[in-house]
Chain A
Amino acid sequence: MAEVNSALKRAGTGPDPAPFGRFRDVRQSFARPGQAPLHAIEAVSFDLERGKLVSLLGPSGCGKTTLLKIVAGLMRATAGVVQIEGVDVTEPQPEFGVVFQTANLMPWRSVLRNVLLPIEIRRDTGGAARAAALELLSLVGLAGFEHARPAELSGGMQQRVALCRALVHKPRLLLMDEPFGSLDELTRMEMQDLLLDIRARTGATVLFVTHSISEAVYLSDRVVVFSRRPATIADMIDVPLPYPRTPELRYCATFTEIGHRAGRALGVSR
């Protein structure tokens, strides 16, 4: 009976009593010698629902990367609640996957051994990891490159390897910090479709930091728009476009409308 109840609750339209990720009044400030402390994040609250892709959209240096690092456990918030699946995040969570702004590959390791790094760090001895890594690499179009060195790959290919590395241990939560920011426009659009494809296959919950309005709208179930520093939430926009999303959607009226609303929240359009 209890099971049915909780299932009903989850299926219901009301607010989820225990969302996957829960952020309440998160604040972050940095002490500065001889000056007033720098407030990076001020009272940010939102929920992250299981299986959703939520973008944190904001101008450069607004504190969105800081928030992502707090969720990753790489930093501790000055105040507020940061919970994933009901547990406070206070230290790095190896069961999450993190993709950084740069690929951060180890130049001395082959592509495959870079992907297997998280498994190696956990001292996971199961042989399944290798097969999983190879499968991921072929999924991102890098079959045949597993023994190449990172220096032999283009920037886009390197970032795909980084994506595989973040996914190899099947994380429940994928944290991405402007992962496609340094790529050219065409590669970036390819990578966006790749990410959506992978998310559809794995069902992972994704928190995605970006400063690109179109990227945020194209990818997300929900866009959280941040103001300039100190970061507060300027707007929270649900994107009603259906998945799987196709490049044509970028030209539909809804897409433009949502982009416009995000632009208004950012103060870049009226």
Chain B
Amino acid sequence: MKRLLLERALYPLLGLAVIVVAWQLYTQLYAVSRIVLPSPSDIALASVRHFALLLAQTWPTLGATVLGFVIALVLGIPLAVCVANSRVLNLTLYPILVATQSVPKVAIAPIVLVWFGFGMESKLAIAFLVAFFPIVVDTATGLRSTPPGLLELARSLRASPWQVFSKVQMPAALPFVFSGAKVAITLAVIGAVIGEFVGSVDGLGNLLLAANSQLESPLAWAALIWLSALGIVLFAAVALVERLVVPWGHSGR
């Protein structure tokens, strides 16, 4: 087991190291312009030199992402419960929900900007919008796929509707809720960055654009890597909560 864990950590790191070395060699051997493709060492250097700036710009992006995600959870799960338990609501809302998904979120961004301005609210709104759908759909799917045997058991014990919901449906749906949440948190980062691209005064996305326009490619790349790291950390955080809350939900236990 420990050996497997080591292998699973070691091999991707090894692969990454190979890519970084190849990249470094390529940029040096062919004297690639720093503006076109900065080398890993350039990016690392920019990361260190602009550490304070990068850190300061991380907070607005992180805040918008997490807040948008949390609001999506708080509004999405109750809506999923309603949709899963009411035929009328399901028939009414589900097609609308799916239809709104065909609207490209990037295209909504300018409109959201008109509503909420250049501050935190716009990116938060976009992060929320993209995170909302996977949470609602996966939670509703989970609530509807309660094992029929468990429902029959609850019925044979004459459990009340609330008992059926709280003791059977909801726990059975939790693994689905988390699979939706993991997709949602990743999308929320993207949503926040879209918000920053379209119009904002701060954040890593904003920094990336600004650095790019000033041909400060190493800093732009550094911002990109920080954004990726942010996404990975947030995903890992949700996965960790899942392990704590749904210890039975993993295929391998």
Closest A residue to B168 by beta carbon equals A106
- With A106-B168, A108-B171, A108-B248 known as contacts, the answer to whether A121 contacts B150 (CB < 8 A) is no
From A98, A106, A107, A120, B156 is in contact (CB under 8 Å) with A98
Give Cα A117 to B167, complex, Å: 9
Which residues of A lie under 8 Å from residue B253 when comparing CB positions? Answer: 151-152
Contact with B along A96-108 (1 / 0, CB 8 A): 1010101010111
A106 with B163: CB separation less than 8 A: no
- With A100-B149, A106-B171 known as contacts, the answer to whether A121 contacts B154 (CB < 8 A) is yes
Q: Which 6 A-B pairs have the closest CB atoms?
A: A104-B149, A107-B248, A121-B157, A108-B171, A94-B158, A98-B156
User: In A80-109, which residues have CB < 8 Å from any B CB?
Assistant: 91-94, 96, 98, 100, 102, 104, 106-108
Q: Show the binding face of B for A, using Cβ within 8 Å.
A: 147, 149-150, 152-159, 163, 167-168, 171-172, 174, 246-248, 253
Chain A interface size, as a band, is: 20 to 34
**Is A58 part of the binding interface, using a Cβ–Cβ cutoff of 8 Å?**
no
A92 with B167: CB separation less than 8 A: no
Smallest beta-carbon distance B242→chain A, Å: 13
Most central of B156, B159, B167, B171 by chain A CB within 10 Å: B156
A-B contact count (CB 8 A): 54
Most central of A72, A106, A122 by chain B CB within 10 Å: A106
A94 with B157: CB separation less than 8 A: yes
Smallest beta-carbon distance B213→chain A, Å: 52
Which residues of B lie under 8 Å from residue A104 when comparing CB positions? Answer: 147, 149-150, 152-153
Which residues of A lie under 8 Å from residue B172 when comparing CB positions? Answer: 106, 108
Which residues of A lie under 8 Å from residue B167 when comparing CB positions? Answer: 106, 117, 120-121
A151 with B147: CB separation less than 8 A: no
Closest B residue to A73 by beta carbon equals B156
Which residues of B lie under 8 Å from residue A108 when comparing CB positions? Answer: 171-172, 174, 246, 248
